[in-house]
Amino acid sequence: MSLSATTAPPASPPTKPAPPRVPGRLSIRLSRLDVKASPYLYIAPFFVIFAIFGLYPMLRTAWMSLHDWDLIGDHTFIGLDNYAALLRDEYFWRAVVNTLGMFVLATVPQLLLALWLASLLNRPRLRARTFFRLVVFIPNVTSVAAVAIVFGMLFARDFGVVNWALEFIGVREHIDWDAYRWSSWIALSIMVDWRWTGYNALIFLAGMQAIPRDLYESAALDGAGPWRQFWSVTLPMLRPTLFFVVIVSTIGGLQLFTEPLVFNSGNILGGTQRQFQTVAMYMYEKAIENTHTAGYGAAVSWVLFVMIILVSLVNVLLIRRSVRS
C-alpha cells in the first residue's frame, strides 16, 4: 500500500504545539487510586454477594450450633454440647455410613464407566460424534426430582418395571427396594450414576483430547498395546482432570439429598430404619423439620462441611498415589 502522496502541507504559520496540560495533584492521586483500587471494585460484587448469602449464613449457623436453638422459641447457650451429643448419636453415624457407602457405590463404577465412555468417544474414526456426545449428556439436564419420581416408580415393589424384568431371569419374589440397606443403596446409586456418568465422561473427554497424539505414537513405537497406552499415557496425563472430577463428585455425592428423599415419597427418615438416610437429610430433619432442634441441626451441617473437606483430601491423596506422573 503506497502512501498516498500527501501534498505538501499548506504553508501556514507554524504554530507552537499546545503546552501539555500538567495534571493537578488531586488528579494524579485519583488516577493512582483508580489503578490500584478499581480491580478490587470490579470483583467486589461477587464478594459482597458471597458475604451476604454465603459467609454470613455459615457464621450464623456456627453460632446457632453453639446453642439449644428453637426456631420458634428461645435460645440458650450450651457451648459444644451439640457436637458432643452428635459424636454419640447412633442415627448420625448411621447417616454417615449410609452417605459414604452410597458415595463409594455410586462414584467408583461411575468414574470407571465415564473413563471408558470417554475413550470410546475419543476414537478418531467415530461417526456422528457430536450426536453421541449430546446423548451422553442429556440425563444430566433432566430435573432431579422428576428422575427420582420415575426411578421410584421403576423400583416399586408390586408394580415396578425392575421387579417385573427380574422375573425373567428367575427372581420370583419381588424385591422391596426401599426396605433394605443393600437394595436401596443400589437403586439410589443407579439413579445418581444415570445422571452423572455422561457429565463426567465429557469432562474426561476434554482432558483426553488435550493429550498430544505423538505421545501415543511414540508409545506405540515402543511396542505398547492399547491397555498399556491407556495406563501409562492417558491416565497420568489425565491427573488434573481426575482431581477435578473426584473433588466435584465428592462434594456432590456427600450432599446427596433429593434422590433419597423423593425415593421415600418425601419422608425425611430415609426408610423405616433410616437405611438410606444421608447426612444432608439428617441435617434437614433436625434443623428445619423439627423446630426444636435447630441448633443440633446446625452442628450437623458444620460436621458435614468438615467431612466433605476431609474426604476430598483423602481422595486427592489416593489419586496422587495411584496415578503416577
Partner 1 sequence: MGVTTRRLRVVAAASTAALLAFGAAACGESDEPASGGKPEKLVVDTFSEFGYDELVKQYEQQTGIKIELRKTGNLNDYRPKLVRYLATGKGAGDVVALEEGILNEFKANPANWVDLKPLVGDHSKDYLAWKYELGIAPDGRLMGLPTDVGSLAVCYRRDLFEAAGLPTERDEVSKLWPTWDDLIEVGQRYRQATGQALLDSVTTVASAVMFQAGGDLFYDKENNIIADSSPAVKQAWDTSLKIADAGITAKVRTWSKEWEAGFKNGSFAATFCPSWMLGIVEQNSGPENAGKWDVAAVPGGGGNWGGSWLAVPAQSKYPEEAAKLAEFLTNASSQIAAFKLKGPLPTNLEALQHPDFLNYTNPYFNNAPTGKIFGESVSKIQPIHLGPKHQAVKERALEPALQAYEGGQLSADAAWEQFLKDAEIQGAF
The residue among 209 and 272 lying less far from partner 1, judged by its C-beta, is: 272
Q: Is residue 141 within 8 Å of residue 181, measured between CB atoms?
A: no
Our CB check for partner 1 shows the closer of 157 and 239 to be 157
Main-chain dihedrals φ then ψ at residue 290, nearest 5 degrees: -95, 100
Q: Look up residue 256 and give its amino acid.
A: L
Decide if residue 38 touches partner 1 (CB under 8 A). Answer: yes
d(CA 92, CA 75): 23
Residue 97 or 179 with smaller CB distance to partner 1: 179
| 142, 209, 218, 272: residue in contact with partner 1 (rule CB under 8 A) | 272
229 scored as a contact of partner 1 (CB under 8 A)? no
Applying CB under 8 A, does 290 fall inside the site for partner 1?
A: yes
- DSSP track, 200-222: HHHHHHHHHHTS-HHHHHHHHHT
Determine if 307 is a binding residue for partner 1 (CB under 8 A).
no
Q: Which of 53, 131, 159, 168 binds partner 1 (CB under 8 A)?
A: 159
Helix (H) or strand (E) holding 307: helix 294-322
Between 158 and 214, CB nearer to partner 1: 158
Please tell me the distance from the alpha carbon of residue 156 to that of residue 176, in angstroms, as a whole number: 7
Q: Minimum CB separation from partner 1 for residue 266, in Å?
A: 7
User: 200-203 long-range contacts, Cβ below 8 Å, gap at least 24?
Assistant: 200/110, 200/111, 200/114, 200/245, 200/249, 201/113, 201/114, 201/115, 201/117, 201/118, 201/121, 201/136, 202/118, 202/133, 202/136, 202/137, 203/114, 203/241, 203/244, 203/245
Out of 63, 83, 91, 132, which residue is the one contacting partner 1 (CB under 8 A)?
91
- Residue selected from 62, 78, 113, 156 as contacting partner 1 according to rule CB under 8 A: 156
With CA atoms as reference, report the closest residue to 283 among 272, 273, 264, 270.
270
Q: Does 292 bind partner 1 (CB under 8 A)?
A: yes
207 near partner 1, rule: CB under 8 A: no
Q: CB under 8 A: which stretch of 98-106, 109-117, 253-261, 286-294 binds partner 1?
A: 286-294
Among 180, 216, 243, 244, binds partner 1 (CB under 8 A): 180
Binding of residue 265 to partner 1 (CB under 8 A): yes
Indicate the residue among 152 and 207 with the shorter CB distance to partner 1.
152
Name the residue type at position 57: P
Residue with cell 492521586: 29
Whole-angstrom Cα distance, residue 234 to residue 237? 5
Is residue 40 within the footprint of partner 1 (CB under 8 A)? no
Q: Which string of x and - marks every residue 53-72 that binds partner 1 (by CB under 8 A)?
A: -----------------xxx
Asked if 166 touches partner 1 (CB under 8 A), the answer is: no
Amino acid 296 reads Y
Helix (H) or strand (E) holding 196: helix 181-209
Q: How far is the CB of 161 from partner 1 (least distance, A)?
A: 12
Which one of the spans 100-108, 243-251, 270-278, 299-307 is the region binding partner 1 (CB under 8 A)?
A: 270-278
Binding residues for partner 1, rule: CB under 8 A, are 31, 34, 38, 70-73, 91, 152-153, 156-159, 176, 179-180, 265-266, 269, 271-273, 288, 290-292
